[in-house]
Amino acid sequence: MKKNIKNVELEDLQNIMVSLNQPAYRTEQIRQAIFKFKRTSFAQISNLPKNLKDYLEEQFEITSLQIKTVRKSLDGSIKFLFSLEDGNLIESVYMPWYDDTSESIERETLCISSMSGCSVGCEFCATGKLGFKRNLQVSEILEQIFLVEQHLNTKLTNIVFMGMGEPLLNYNNVVQAIEILTDPNYELFSRKKITLSTAGVANKIKQLATTNRPVKLAISLHFTTNILRNQIMPINLSSPLEDLMDAVEIYYKSTKMPITYEYILFAGLNDTDEDVKRLVKIARRVPSRVNIIPFNDISFIRQTNLSKDLKIATKEQIKNFSDKLKENGIVSITRDSFGSDIEAACGQLTLSETKMSVKIKPIN
């Protein structure tokens, strides 16, 4: 089976060129064609000699994803379902952000996946109900971006690793993809336009801080005590809040980039005044902000007793919680839920396509 050329690391490609008696500059010509100009066949790389193009065609492939389903929401967001070569599915969501004073698009963000399925198993996440299929390769991470740009005939402005999977549990491939995306030679993205969201893998957060071009970090926090995080976010058993907060401090001190805390508000569970106090204390450790996120209902799938207890907070409850944070000097932003009419929440469309434990809700 051919290896995807996007998965070949720089040093390995250099060694291949040496073995073929090709000049050293061929390596960068190939990488520029693939990453900067997004060529989809070796025949399109006009500055390579024919014998080298023939060799590359025989030994490597250049694409690894196919768009399976596209759904557009009334709010302008678009969900893409991709089919991998082994038949597994992954999702990306395109989110246009509009200027408040006009109808023009201010920025175009793509939420991308790092795994097919997920190994973390958070109780509130539809992807976790899929189970873990496998980590994505570098090519499969990058091609979500390239294919969406091609399909929409646009240039994305922001990338968020907030789709299917825990990025820091696919550390090597995610970091390699980020290195490519932020390489100034390819003119793709500034590292400040890329956000990596993690449920909290403390040792990998520390490691990420030491990379060449670290990106913005978002912590899927959601609960302010180890007791609730242990129950609902099992990753906390190996990275408890104390270790996670120490890693966050190290990341900020190394990168000087403010931290985002993501907080899904669940009615009667993590919305108390004590939660506010603990969250304020957490948010004050380093410059940061809190994004309050509406809960996407996952009652259409088979649930555990824990997930059944997760209740959607009302708009009033969300506002009250946000106001209390602001009163304590914490920047708090309430995020809209994109694409509720197209199963845009992480994992929903894949579950629908694979028909895994889907329950049809009666119409009242």
Active site residues: 91, 346
Q: Which amino acid is at 67?
A: I
What does 112-170 look like in DSSP terms, one character per residue? --SEEE-SS--TT-HHHHH-EEEEPPHHHHHHHHHHHHHHHT----EEEE-SSS-GGGG
Q: Which residues on adjacent β-strands are paired with residue 295? A: none
List C-alpha distances in Å: 290 to 80, 279, 305, 344. Answer: 28, 9, 28, 22
Spacing of C-alpha 280 from chain mean position: 26
The first and second tokens of residue 185, run together, are 């030679």
Are the C-beta atoms of 150 and 38 separated by less than 8 Å?
A: yes
- Determine the Cα–Cα distance for residues 160 and 187; give it in Å rounded to an integer: 17
What does 15-57 look like in DSSP terms, one character per residue? HHHHHTT--THHHHHHHIIIIIS--SSGGG-TTS-HHHHHHHH
